[in-house]
């Protein structure tokens, strides 16, 4: 399991790196699965998790697009 960071808990999701988002998601899942929190708090955690997942997907989508662009640039350079 990934190491949990206390720094990432104080930051807004838009400020977090991908790895920090995953750490927060793991923390939420662990708390829900352990049963240490009640239903209402589990629902709040789930909602927070959905936001973190959206942010992480956005980061991955941008990374994928950048890789596609780099590969296209690389292939364009080979044909000259």
pLDDT at 1: 43
Pinpoint the alpha helices (H) of the chain: 18-34, 39-78
The reply to whether 24 falls in a domain is yes
Do residues 25 and 46 touch, judged by C-beta distance below 8 A?
A: no
Structure tokens at 13: 């999701």
The reply to whether 9 falls in a domain is no
Question: How many domains does the chain contain in total?
Answer: 1
Q: Can you tell me whether residue 65 is helix, strand or coil?
A: helix
Domain with 61 in it: 18-78
Q: Can you tell me whether residue 61 is helix, strand or coil?
A: helix
Q: What is the pTM of this model?
A: 0.73
Give yes or no for residue 37 having a pLDDT over 60.
Answer: yes
User: Please, how many CA atoms are within 13 Å of residue 54, restricted to the half-sphere of its CB?
Assistant: 8
Do residues 33 and 71 touch, judged by C-beta distance below 8 A?
A: no
The mean pLDDT of the chain is: 86
């Amino acid at each position: 399991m990934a190491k949990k960071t206390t720094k990432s808990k104080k930051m807004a999701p838009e400020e977090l790196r991908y790895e920090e988002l995953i750490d927060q998601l793991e923390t939420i899942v662990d708390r829900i699965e352990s049963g240490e929190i009640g239903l209402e708090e589990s629902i709040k955690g789930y909602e927070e998790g959905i936001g973190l997942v959206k942010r992480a997907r956005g980061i991955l989508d941008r990374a994928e697009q950048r890789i596609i662009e780099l590969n296209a640039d690389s292939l364009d350079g080979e044909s000259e």
